[in-house]
Protein backbone atom coordinates (compact mmCIF):
# COMPACT_ATOMS: atom_id res chain seq x y z
CA UNK A 1 0.00 0.00 0.00
CA UNK A 2 2.83 2.43 0.79
CA UNK A 3 4.43 1.59 -2.58
CA UNK A 4 1.26 2.61 -4.42
CA UNK A 5 1.05 5.80 -2.38
CA UNK A 6 4.67 6.74 -3.08
CA UNK A 7 4.16 5.88 -6.75
CA UNK A 8 1.09 8.16 -6.91
CA UNK A 9 2.98 10.94 -5.17
CA UNK A 10 5.89 10.71 -7.59
CA UNK A 11 3.47 10.79 -10.55
CA UNK A 12 1.87 13.97 -9.15
CA UNK A 13 5.29 15.58 -8.70
CA UNK A 14 6.31 14.63 -12.24
CA UNK A 15 3.08 16.05 -13.64
CA UNK A 16 3.57 19.28 -11.65
CA UNK A 17 7.10 19.67 -13.10
CA UNK A 18 5.87 19.17 -16.68
CA UNK A 19 2.54 21.10 -16.58
CA UNK A 20 2.80 24.88 -16.05
CA UNK A 21 -0.98 25.39 -15.89
CA UNK A 22 -1.28 22.78 -13.15
CA UNK A 23 1.42 24.56 -11.10
CA UNK A 24 -0.27 27.93 -11.62
CA UNK A 25 -3.66 26.47 -10.61
CA UNK A 26 -2.16 24.89 -7.48
CA UNK A 27 -0.52 28.20 -6.51
CA UNK A 28 -3.84 29.97 -7.13
CA UNK A 29 -5.66 27.50 -4.85
CA UNK A 30 -3.00 27.92 -2.16
CA UNK A 31 -3.24 31.72 -2.49
CA UNK A 32 -7.05 31.62 -2.19
CA UNK A 33 -6.85 29.38 0.90
CA UNK A 34 -4.32 31.68 2.52
CA UNK A 35 -6.46 34.74 1.68
CA UNK A 36 -9.51 33.04 3.21
CA UNK A 37 -7.57 32.20 6.38
CA UNK A 38 -6.33 35.80 6.64
CA UNK A 39 -9.91 37.08 6.25
CA UNK A 40 -11.15 34.69 8.94
CA UNK A 41 -8.40 35.81 11.31
CA UNK A 42 -9.22 39.45 10.56
CA UNK A 43 -12.91 38.87 11.39
CA UNK A 44 -11.94 37.06 14.58
CA UNK A 45 -9.65 39.93 15.56
CA UNK A 46 -12.50 42.42 14.97
CA UNK A 47 -14.83 40.34 17.15
CA UNK A 48 -12.22 40.18 19.91
CA UNK A 49 -11.64 43.95 19.71
CA UNK A 50 -15.37 44.63 19.97
CA UNK A 51 -15.69 42.29 22.97
CA UNK A 52 -12.70 44.00 24.58
CA UNK A 53 -14.19 47.46 24.01
CA UNK A 54 -17.53 46.31 25.48
CA UNK A 55 -15.75 44.87 28.52
CA UNK A 56 -13.85 48.16 29.04
CA UNK A 57 -17.09 50.12 28.71
CA UNK A 58 -18.84 47.90 31.30
CA UNK A 59 -15.83 48.18 33.62
CA UNK A 60 -15.90 51.99 33.36
CA UNK A 61 -19.64 52.01 34.13
CA UNK A 62 -19.15 49.76 37.15
CA UNK A 63 -16.30 51.92 38.40
CA UNK A 64 -18.38 55.08 38.08
CA UNK A 65 -21.27 53.43 39.94
CA UNK A 66 -18.92 52.14 42.64
CA UNK A 67 -17.61 55.66 43.28
CA UNK A 68 -21.10 57.08 43.83
CA UNK A 69 -21.88 57.86 47.45
CA UNK A 70 -25.67 58.20 47.34
CA UNK A 71 -26.43 54.49 47.83
CA UNK A 72 -27.60 54.78 51.44
CA UNK A 73 -29.78 57.76 50.54
CA UNK A 74 -31.26 55.86 47.59
CA UNK A 75 -31.89 52.82 49.76
CA UNK A 76 -33.77 54.90 52.33
CA UNK A 77 -35.80 56.58 49.56
CA UNK A 78 -36.68 53.18 48.10
CA UNK A 79 -37.71 51.92 51.54
CA UNK A 80 -39.90 55.00 52.11
CA UNK A 81 -41.54 54.55 48.70
CA UNK A 82 -42.15 50.86 49.40
CA UNK A 83 -43.78 51.76 52.72
CA UNK A 84 -46.02 54.32 50.99
CA UNK A 85 -47.07 51.72 48.43
CA UNK A 86 -47.66 48.97 50.99
CA UNK A 87 -50.06 51.26 52.87
CA UNK A 88 -52.23 51.27 49.75
CA UNK A 89 -52.58 47.48 49.66
CA UNK A 90 -55.76 45.90 50.92
CA UNK A 91 -55.21 43.44 53.77
CA UNK A 92 -56.57 39.93 54.33
CA UNK A 93 -55.39 36.77 56.03
CA UNK A 94 -56.20 34.41 53.14
CA UNK A 95 -56.97 34.62 49.43
CA UNK A 96 -60.57 33.58 50.12
CA UNK A 97 -61.04 36.43 52.58
CA UNK A 98 -59.41 38.78 50.07
CA UNK A 99 -61.94 37.75 47.42
CA UNK A 100 -64.85 38.11 49.81
CA UNK A 101 -63.68 41.51 51.06
CA UNK A 102 -63.23 42.93 47.58
CA UNK A 103 -66.47 41.45 46.28
CA UNK A 104 -68.41 42.87 49.25
CA UNK A 105 -66.88 46.34 48.82
CA UNK A 106 -67.47 46.32 45.07
CA UNK A 107 -71.05 45.04 45.47
CA UNK A 108 -71.77 47.81 48.00
CA UNK A 109 -70.50 50.43 45.53
CA UNK A 110 -72.59 48.96 42.70
CA UNK A 111 -75.70 49.06 44.89
CA UNK A 112 -75.06 52.63 46.08
CA UNK A 113 -74.59 53.71 42.43
CA UNK A 114 -78.06 52.18 41.72
CA UNK A 115 -76.83 50.15 38.76
CA UNK A 116 -79.49 48.16 36.96
CA UNK A 117 -79.11 44.58 35.76
CA UNK A 118 -75.67 44.40 37.34
CA UNK A 119 -73.79 41.12 37.38
CA UNK A 120 -70.58 41.06 39.44
CA UNK A 121 -68.16 38.16 39.63
CA UNK A 122 -64.57 37.54 40.68
CA UNK A 123 -62.61 36.43 37.62
CA UNK A 124 -59.23 35.48 39.04
CA UNK A 125 -57.06 35.46 42.11
CA UNK A 126 -53.36 34.78 42.08
CA UNK A 127 -50.18 35.55 43.98
CA UNK A 128 -47.70 37.85 42.28
CA UNK A 129 -44.45 36.23 41.08
CA UNK A 130 -41.73 36.43 43.72
CA UNK A 131 -44.28 37.98 46.12
CA UNK A 132 -46.37 35.07 47.46
CA UNK A 133 -48.03 37.27 50.10
CA UNK A 134 -49.35 39.80 47.52
CA UNK A 135 -52.54 38.73 45.73
CA UNK A 136 -54.19 40.26 42.71
CA UNK A 137 -57.98 39.92 42.74
CA UNK A 138 -59.69 40.69 39.43
CA UNK A 139 -63.45 41.31 39.24
CA UNK A 140 -65.79 41.84 36.29
CA UNK A 141 -68.96 43.91 36.35
CA UNK A 142 -71.54 43.80 33.55
CA UNK A 143 -74.44 46.27 33.94
CA UNK A 144 -76.81 48.63 32.16
CA UNK A 145 -75.08 51.87 31.28
CA UNK A 146 -76.10 55.21 32.68
CA UNK A 147 -73.51 57.96 32.81
CA UNK A 148 -74.47 59.03 36.33
CA UNK A 149 -74.19 55.58 37.93
CA UNK A 150 -70.93 54.74 36.14
CA UNK A 151 -69.49 58.11 37.14
CA UNK A 152 -70.48 57.50 40.76
CA UNK A 153 -68.83 54.04 40.74
CA UNK A 154 -65.60 55.30 39.13
CA UNK A 155 -65.47 58.19 41.62
CA UNK A 156 -65.83 55.77 44.55
CA UNK A 157 -62.99 53.67 43.14
CA UNK A 158 -60.77 56.74 42.65
CA UNK A 159 -61.41 58.00 46.19
CA UNK A 160 -60.77 54.64 47.85
CA UNK A 161 -57.49 54.73 49.81
CA UNK A 162 -56.39 51.25 48.65
CA UNK A 163 -55.27 50.27 45.15
CA UNK A 164 -58.08 49.63 42.68
CA UNK A 165 -56.86 49.42 39.11
CA UNK A 166 -59.22 49.71 36.15
CA UNK A 167 -58.08 47.07 33.69
CA UNK A 168 -60.78 47.63 31.07
CA UNK A 169 -63.94 49.68 30.54
CA UNK A 170 -66.07 48.87 27.55
CA UNK A 171 -69.34 50.65 26.74
CA UNK A 172 -71.51 49.29 23.96
CA UNK A 173 -74.88 50.09 22.47
CA UNK A 174 -76.87 47.27 20.88
CA UNK A 175 -80.48 47.68 19.78
CA UNK A 176 -80.72 50.98 21.68
CA UNK A 177 -79.72 49.28 24.92
CA UNK A 178 -76.51 50.57 26.46
CA UNK A 179 -74.43 48.23 28.60
CA UNK A 180 -70.92 48.33 29.94
CA UNK A 181 -68.27 45.93 31.14
CA UNK A 182 -65.80 47.01 33.78
CA UNK A 183 -62.83 44.87 34.80
CA UNK A 184 -60.95 46.02 37.89
CA UNK A 185 -58.22 44.60 40.11
CA UNK A 186 -57.32 45.06 43.75
CA UNK A 187 -54.03 44.15 45.39
CA UNK A 188 -54.09 42.48 48.80
CA UNK A 189 -51.23 41.90 51.17
CA UNK A 190 -51.62 38.73 53.16
CA UNK A 191 -49.70 37.33 56.06
CA UNK A 192 -46.20 36.26 55.10
CA UNK A 193 -45.65 32.54 55.03
Per-residue pLDDT of 78-112, as tens digits, reads 888 888 887 888 888 888 888 899 999 999 999 88
- For 112, phi and psi rounded to 5 degrees? -70, -25
* Helix pair angle (2-18, 20-66), 10° resolution: 100
* pLDDT tens, position by position, 141-188: 999 888 898 899 999 999 988 888 889 999 888 888 889 999 999 989
On average, the pLDDT of the chain sits at 87
pTM of the entire structure? 0.57
CATH ID of 86-189, from 3.30.9.10, 3.30.70.270, 1.10.1740.10, 3.30.70.60? 3.30.70.60
For residue 1, is pLDDT > 60? no
| Cα 102 from Cα 109, distance rounded (Å) | 11
Domain ranges within the chain, ordered by starting residue: 2-60, 86-189
pLDDT of residue 192: 52
In angstroms, the CA 132 to CA 193 distance is 8
H or E element in which residue 122 lies: strand 119-128
Amino acid sequence: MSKSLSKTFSLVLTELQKNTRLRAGLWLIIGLLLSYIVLLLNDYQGTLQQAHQNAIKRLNQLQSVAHQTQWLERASQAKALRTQLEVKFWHANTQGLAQATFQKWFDTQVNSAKMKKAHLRIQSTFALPKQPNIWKITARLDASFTAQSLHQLLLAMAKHPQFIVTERLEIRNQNRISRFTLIVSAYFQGKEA
